[in-house]
Amino acid sequence: MLDTAPSTAPSTDLIDEIREDIDHNRLQLPTLPEVALRVRDAVESDDADAKRIAEIVACDPALAARLLQVANSPLYGGRREIDGVQEAVTRLGLKLVRGLVTNLVMKQMFQATSETLDRQLRRIWEDSVKIAAISRWLATQVPALETEEAMLGGLVHNIGALPLLAKLESCHIDDSNPALILAMIDALAPDLGTRILEQWHFVEGLTRIPAAVADPAYDSGPSPTYADIVIVARLLHQASQSQTTPTEWGYLPALAKLGMHPEELLERMADPASGIAEAEKLLGV
């Protein structure tokens, strides 16, 4: 049982137990719902088209309604309101639809079976959405990267926290010591996140993100990657929450590749024209 006395050091015994469960495949990893898998596979196929994607989405009325809502929102709305799923897919684009579908099914995953750790799950999900929105904006500064792929990378960067929190909940560990829970997430979630994204058959550029984000000094090479984008997005989000300041960042490879100073990035992301707030609304915050 975890000691609930104030401490920020993780329980070595419990971490060892969870690591052993991971190594022996005893920790249940979340599965991506079939509708998200079908949309993902269809978008990535050579013959992807709006009609095929719409047929898949239409099988889930809640997803279809959400796509129509987004397609008619001020961010994407055209001159006329649309009421057909295929029209919504055409207006939004296939990759944005894929990201929105993944966002919606993941949001459902971030639900605690009890109220014990629900606060932690909500915080992690809200942070992931904000980091996804910032990642989407940052990718607009890098022509070689796709904005919707960057947004997806931000959404899944901390997906490893899901099975970990489920494990803690099964051990009857409450949230009376949130700093301790966060320390355990920092220690274990990156490896779990990589395993989950590999199990979901995400592309390599996304599967490396959970581990990369845990190491701000991560350097993938001379060209910016989606991992670099999410690393910087997370730092910017922390700075905006007053958890750290740009002067503490020093030289970071991911930041250097974007060719901007942190103060400049913070100033630009605060501009309403950046679209970050709209992207958060798009993702449901």
Residue 164 has pLDDT above 90, yes or no: no
Greatest Cα pair distance, the chain, in angstroms, is 60
The fold adopted by the segment(s) 12-282 is Hypothetical protein af1432 (1.10.3210)
Residues in the chain, total: 285
Distances in whole angstroms, Cα of residue 118 to Cα of each of 7, 236, 275: 21, 25, 29
Start-to-end Cα distance in the chain: 35
Q: What is the pLDDT of residue 9?
A: 47
Q: Token digits for 30?
A: 């979340």
| Whether pLDDT at 233 is above 90 | yes
* pLDDT bracket for residue 4 (50, 70, 90): very low
pLDDT-derived band at 194 (thresholds 50, 70, 90) equals: very high
**pTM (2 d.p.):** 0.86
* Percentage above 70 pLDDT, the chain: 88
Domain ranges of the chain: 12-282
pLDDT at 225: 94
Q: 10 pLDDT band (50/70/90 cuts)?
A: very low
Distance, CA of 44 to CA of 205 (rounded, Å): 15
Distance CA(119)–CA(261), nearest Å, equals 34
What's the pLDDT score for residue 73? 83
Query: Rounded distance, CA 264 to CA 268, Å?
Result: 6
Q: Record the tokens describing residue 44, joined without a space.
A: 């990535």
Q: Is the pLDDT of residue 263 over 80?
A: yes
Asked if residues 130 and 96 have their Cβ atoms less than 8 Å apart, the reply is no
Q: Contact 99/201 with Cβ under 8 angstroms?
A: no
Rounded Cα gap, residues 20 and 24, in angstroms:
6
- What would the mean pLDDT of 170-193 be, rounded to a whole number? 78
The CA-based dihedral angle spanning residues 97, 185, 229, 267, taken in that order and rounded to the nearest 10 degrees? 100
**Do residues 130 and 65 lie in contact, with contact meaning Cβ atoms separated by under 8 Å?**
no
Report how far apart, in Å, the C-alpha atoms of 261 and of each of 179, 232, 244, 270, 274 are.
30, 11, 15, 15, 17
Q: Which residue has the higher pLDDT, 202 or 261?
A: 202
When the pLDDT of each residue in the chain is averaged and rounded to a whole number, the result is: 84
What's the pLDDT tens digit per position in 21-77? 877 777 788 888 888 899 988 988 888 889 999 999 999 898 899 889 888 887 777
- Tens of pLDDT, residue by residue over 116-148, are 677 888 888 899 999 999 999 999 989 999 999
pLDDT of the residue at 11: 59
pLDDT band at 151 (very low <50, low <70, confident <90, very high): very high
